[in-house]
């Protein structure tokens, strides 16, 4: 029976595929303030702007390719029962070959009714103002905005509690409630953090820091795990 390895990934892993985030700026995301494009209030105030912003994000994701970090995590499935819990809305983990991926903050390649969050469908092109879901409501990106509930958190918690090995890759641990998931990892489980910038760590320690970008850090982690 394979050991359970859980990888919690954030913006840093996709940044090496060329996908920019607001994490490294001054609260700006592609020249937009987060409050202008990634909140329910922004949607109510200017749906066209929000759609335009996410249409551009979708195009960027479709043009991006998985990098060595995504591929390295997928390759760990040969040895471990791997679950990827990602804060990212791209599909780079899936394209790299990971078979069990839980998206905490939604998926940019899906859209849903603004009225019924269960009316979800795939999208590879732009969403336009006037594009309607089956219930007659405007379609919006299937992403979790700041200020919205994160329903997948409850789904993710048991994976963390049962993890034999935990790896945090490219997350600043700045966005809650996702950052709080680290607290559910059992103390017995080896815990690794891959990030060139050390995020604030929970009080209970036993984290091994790999202060490298995701691509080289995942390769180094794989070597460590192979050595036992």
Active site residues: 105
Q: 211-226: buried (b, 16+ CB within 10 Å) or exposed (e) per residue? A: eebbbbbbbebeeebe
Vertex 87, ends 85 and 91: CA angle to 5°? 80
Element (H, E) at 4: strand 4-9
The DSSP code sequence of 25-78 is TTSEETTEEHHHHSSHHHHHH-HHHHHHHHHHHHHHHHH----HHHHHHHHGGG
């Amino acid at each position: 029976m394979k050991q359970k390895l859980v990888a919690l990934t954030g913006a840093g892993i996709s940044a090496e595929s060329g996908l920019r985030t607001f994490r490294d700026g001054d609260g700006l995301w592609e020249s937009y303030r987060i409050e202008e494009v990634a909140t329910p209030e922004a949607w109510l105030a200017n749906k066209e702007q929000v759609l335009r912003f996410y249409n551009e994000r979708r195009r960027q994701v479709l043009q991006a390719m998985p990098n060595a970090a995504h591929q390295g995590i997928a390759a760990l499935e040969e040895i471990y029962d791997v679950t990827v819990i990602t804060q990212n809305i791209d599909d780079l983990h899936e394209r790299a070959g990971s078979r069990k991926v839980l998206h905490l903050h939604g998926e940019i390649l899906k859209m849903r009714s603004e009225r019924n969050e269960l009316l979800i469908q795939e999208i590879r092109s732009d969403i336009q103002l006037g594009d309607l879901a089956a219930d007659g409501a405007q379609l919006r990106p299937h992403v979790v905005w700041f200020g919205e509930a994160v329903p997948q958190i409850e789904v993710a918690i048991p994976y963390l509690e049962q993890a034999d090995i935990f790896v945090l890759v490219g997350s600043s641990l700045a966005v809650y409630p996702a950052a709080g998931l680290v607290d559910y990892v059992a103390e017995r489980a080896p815990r690794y953090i891959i990030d060139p910038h050390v995020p604030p760590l929970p009080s209970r320690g036993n984290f091994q820091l790999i202060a490298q970008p995701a691509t080289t850090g995942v390769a180094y982690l794989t070597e460590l795990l192979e050595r036992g």
